[in-house]
Structure 1
Amino acid sequence: MFRSPVVTTRHLWTGLPLFILLWKCFLFPLPMLDFWWHLKAGEVIVTSRTIPTADIFSFTAEGKPFVLGNWLAEVIYYLLYRLGNLELLLFGNALLVTAAFLAVYSLCWQATDRFRVRIFCAAIAALCFSVGVRTQVFSFFFFALYYWVLWQLHTRRRNLLWILPVLMIFWVNLHGGFFLGLALISIFLCAECANRCLRSNLERLPLKELRQIVFIFLLCLIATGANPQGYHVYTYVWTVASDPSSQKLVIEWQPPSIETARGMLLFFGPFFMTLVALVYSRRRPHPTEVALFVVSAAFAFTAMRNGIWFIILNIPLLARCFPDSLDQRHEKPYFASTTSDDAIRQQTHYTRVMQRPLDVVLACLALFVLALLSPWVHPRVYGGDLLAPETPVRAVDFVQSRGIKGKMFHPQEYGDYLIWRLWPQQRSFIDGRVHLFGEAFVREYQQVFCDSNWEESLARYGIEYLLLKKDPDQAEHQRLLESVRNSGRWIMLYEDNLSILFEKSNPHGMSGVQRQSGTRSQPPP
């Protein structure tokens, strides 16, 4: 006899954080920066079976030493693309983000026996989690898994330290954030040693397990040498992390702002919630918890991109402190109305197997919504594309179809996509690899948009083509566009609603493309 699916209200609430996370993963298109050049690098590595050691993608830094520290992630990206195009790549990223989140969710679950607090804290983590398709997501996964393993040892649930050096072999080849794993082990070790030295009455790890942590740290340190650059990979990490052009000019490397929604979501919101919970909690925090909170908060204050590490480490701390902070305030909010799993089990409406149509309908509706948002269905149902709306697809189509090979100036945002679509026919002027170009060059690039002598600046690089944005909200781009139109030395080849392509004219007032095609310009499509 057919049985309807067993779905309880508790199942629906348990799945809510996962629904939020997957909804976010499928909501955002592929980014313009820091993705496309990685995909092209993966193609180069797979097809040539070599890992380039110098820049091959730009003409302004061509031949300059450049380490592909994320080479394995780039290979994975390209293989996913070959197997299932961009749709499979987006889906694979969603699975990786979900795997990282599940480690945090598990720690929230272990942190308290109050069901609603678990769901609330996990939902906060899902809302704040970074989900964009970037190689950094691999570090999210490994960092969360490192934290989960170390916390299992801290709470004496299980000892899985042996897996950390194995994970490090993969991590060091996937993303430069591998050093955060070493930092996390160091924080745990120092905090646990401090706890013993302070002779507090809090639970302390035995000396045997502290020695194990030291041994595992050394094994992880040795494992970082298992990459094509060996231990020179640390030079690459330091170069990227300390690059002045990134620190001063790239938005995500700027400190988070409390005045912006992004700053509140990625750091300040979780920070203040956790801080208040710590202050009002009757529970005495462990030195390890204090160390993780202070160090991760200080790190997150330095750059917006570092907020994710604070979220991974401290949302479980929020779950541990939140119930006690509520009791301390003598409040009876929604979160405290059901006190424990035992109490939940005693209440019929949480433990009785419910086959009510409403529960099944809600579960099916959630799955249906995620299916509609999936990269395979969403573009076909709602139209649009998986790419960011500002991606210059048609302009690049034109350049590709006409075989244009001269040196081209373009906005930085276009650089990564040009690498993916046009290399080696075209090389970028500048792209998302800001640390490769250096501060002086980046400032010179920025000066082009506001300097009346922009033609002289570009002439030094032998620029023959200009691919410019038509975004009316960016005044500097509009100024340059007007200056080009009024120059009389540049002929429009192509224009659409996003971009416009110019070629430098010869003394007779015609471009090379026009002489070949016999036309004055390409009309807007």
Structure 2
Amino acid sequence: MKISLPQISLPTLVGLLVFCALVHLDATEGDTYWHVKAGEWIYAHRDVPRQDAFSYTRNGAPWVDFEWLAEIVLYAAYALDGWNGLRVLASLAAATAIAGIAHILLTRRGSPYLAIVSAVMAFALCHAHFWARPHVLAWAPLAWWAAWQADAGAKGTPPPWWTVPVLAVWANLHGSFTLGLVLAALAAAEAAERLWRDGRLSVAAAKPWGLYLLALFAAAMATPYGLDGILITQQTFSMEKSMAYIAEWRSPDFQGGMHAFEFWLLLVIAAASLKRLDVPWARWLLLFFLIDTALRYQRNAVLFGLLIPVYFGKAVDETWISAYGSAVNLTLNRWPRRTSPAAWCAAAAIAFYFATAPLPLRDTGAARGFDAAEAVGAVRAWSAGGDPGPVFNDYGLGGYLIFAGIKPFIDGRNLLYGDDFVARYAEAENLTSPSALTGILAEYDIRWTLLSAQSPAAALLDHLDGWRRLYSNNRHVVHVRESPASPKP
């Protein structure tokens, strides 16, 4: 009697491995807290915020919360299972995206070998930016959108019309939807090039693309903020002072050994230069853009990892793998193409075990919050349970203060605060301007501070008259002012 084992396809196995690898990592980060709180606010008010209600320095100022839909999802995960719910949600979103890359490469672009290499590449570049935040929820839409647009550009006809509402949902999920518009425009350019080379370029042939692009623009406007939601991308990249301060928007540092992006970039360059890849010029233009943006802003290495396999996978397979990897592919091609119901049940059981097993890393996600909670508790005891007054806080802890019901001086919504405000805060926190800190303390009548233990501003506060250190641990320091309020200049 022959017993057949449950069959699991390569993309399903990739997704399961990625989920199990990520679900016990710390997925919380400073911005996670305010995103959850914003989702709670939206749920309670049945509306999206249009003015800031969380900080005291920008209270009432116009606010375009372009990630409102993702914040509802994050809040729902938190309401369901706390920090564990957020970790599972983020792990599931990342696993879906990377499994999607494997599926795209396996069914549309090339060989199983290429699918595995591409999944490893995507995981390596996404891993450093794995947080329970809206951008992780946008990874899967980005990968599939790229596949649809790449296919359409190769065929010369627009993608199906049902992809238009997908962009509308994406536009309410995360600001990366504007890249989706760019990819659609590149697909139209690639299609025009193919039609021109075939002698079939005409107004009639271009009309479907024109209508499709107009429909996409209308879908991008289908948000509570209309055109303001589209302009977010341009406004973000114009904040040069803020980007120089915020770590994830800085250029990658290659000094500490081989960087993951450096390795994959060199591999892609070698594959493209040692043998000429038959790729349309629009895709070369995309490659140059992805390299440039990843070298400028390290968080955009994720775009490189998700898009390069989709747009260049088939050419790499035809040029390199089909010629030199036949033995490997012969073995991998025997892999089941579909996952059997029994294998789905087994994969779900394994995923459930890893999501619920009480391993030591289970509590690390909330460690940052508990740590700050002790500091905030010390301040509330100092103020006898009353309002402790305005705070000058670390940029990364602003989200936690919002979560704790305290209006911060600043948090991760740098677009709300503006480039000059963030730059002035950075000067005060880093003491790059001698009077920046004391000026802010006086102007905003700061009564207490919550800063990183390594902050230059915290070190100066130890020596300022009228200030004393109330609480400290290896991560956070709290100072309180005990002298009368200083007159505002």
Q: Same-fold call, TM > 0.5?
A: yes
Smaller-chain TM-score bracket: 0.7 to 0.9
Partners of 1:344 and 1:311 in 2: CA distance: 24
Partners of 2:116 and 2:201 in 1: CA distance: 30
**Residue of structure 2 aligned with 1:461, choices 444, 450, 462:** 444
Q: 1:212 Cα deviation (Å)?
A: 2.9
Query: Is the partner of 1:194 in helix, strand or coil?
Result: helix
Q: TM-score, normalised by structure 2?
A: 0.83
* 1:428 partner amino acid: P
* Equivalent residue, structure 2, for 1:421: 404
Which stretches in structure 2 are left out of the alignment for 5+ residues? 337-341, 485-489
* 2:135 partner amino acid: Q
Q: 1:373 Cα deviation (Å)?
A: 4.8
Which stretches in structure 1 are left out of the alignment for 5+ residues? 352-359, 508-525
* 1:387 partner amino acid: A
Q: 1:68 Cα deviation (Å)?
A: 1.0
Partners of 1:85 and 1:271 in 2: CA distance: 38
**Residue of structure 2 aligned with 1:304, choices 295, 298, 303:** 298
What is the percent sequence identity of the aligned residues? Answer: 22
Residues 302 and 382 (structure 1 numbering): CA distance in 2 closer, same or farther, change over 3 Å?
closer
Q: TM-score, normalised by structure 1?
A: 0.78
* Equivalent residue, structure 2, for 1:504: 481
What pairs with 1:390-401 in structure 2 (closer than 5 Å)? 392-399=372-379
**Residues 111 and 319 in structure 1, CA contact (< 8 A), matched pair in contact too:** no
* Equivalent residue, structure 1, for 2:37: 40
Query: Is the partner of 2:133 in helix, strand or coil?
Result: coil
Partners of 2:317 and 2:141 in 1: CA distance: 29
User: Structure 1, residues 266-295: CA drift from partner, whole Å, max 9, x if none?
Assistant: x43333222222233465223454343233
Over alpha carbons, which structure has the higher Rg? 1
* Equivalent residue, structure 1, for 2:364: 385
* 2:56 partner amino acid: F
**Residues 68 and 172 in structure 2, CA contact (< 8 A), matched pair in contact too:** yes
Matched, 1:487 2:459: no
Residues 155 and 385 (structure 1 numbering): CA distance in 2 closer, same or farther, change over 3 Å?
same
Query: Is the partner of 2:365 in helix, strand or coil?
Result: coil
Q: 1:59 Cα deviation (Å)?
A: 1.6
Partners of 2:97 and 2:248 in 1: CA distance: 21
Residues 506 and 275 (structure 1 numbering): CA distance in 2 closer, same or farther, change over 3 Å?
closer
**Residue of structure 2 aligned with 1:62, choices 59, 64, 81:** 59
**Residues 32 and 132 in structure 2, CA contact (< 8 A), matched pair in contact too:** yes
User: Structure 1, residues 406-449: CA drift from partner, whole Å, max 9, x if none?
Assistant: 11112111111111112xxx211111122322333323323334
**Residue of structure 2 aligned with 1:26, choices 23, 26, 43:** 23
User: Structure 1, residues 456-509: CA drift from partner, whole Å, max 9, x if none?
Assistant: 431111001122332xxx3xx2x43343333351244434443232321146xx
What pairs with 1:107-506 in structure 2 (closer than 5 Å)? 107-111=104-108, 114-129=111-126, 130-154=129-153, 161-199=160-198, 210-259=206-255, 264-265=259-260, 267-281=261-275, 284-326=278-320, 335-340=325-330, 344-345=333-334, 373-374=354-355, 376-378=356-358, 381-382=360-361, 384-387=363-366, 389=368, 392-399=372-379, 402-422=385-405, 426-449=406-429, 450=431, 453=435, 454-470=437-453, 474=454, 477=455, 479-506=456-483
User: Structure 1, residues 201-253: CA drift from partner, whole Å, max 9, x if none?
Assistant: xxx99987754333221111112222112223233343223223333322222
**Residues 16 and 347 in structure 2, CA contact (< 8 A), matched pair in contact too:** no
Partners of 2:119 and 2:362 in 1: CA distance: 32
Task: Give the aligned length.
Answer: 469
**Residues 31 and 396 in structure 2, CA contact (< 8 A), matched pair in contact too:** no
* 1:412 partner amino acid: Y
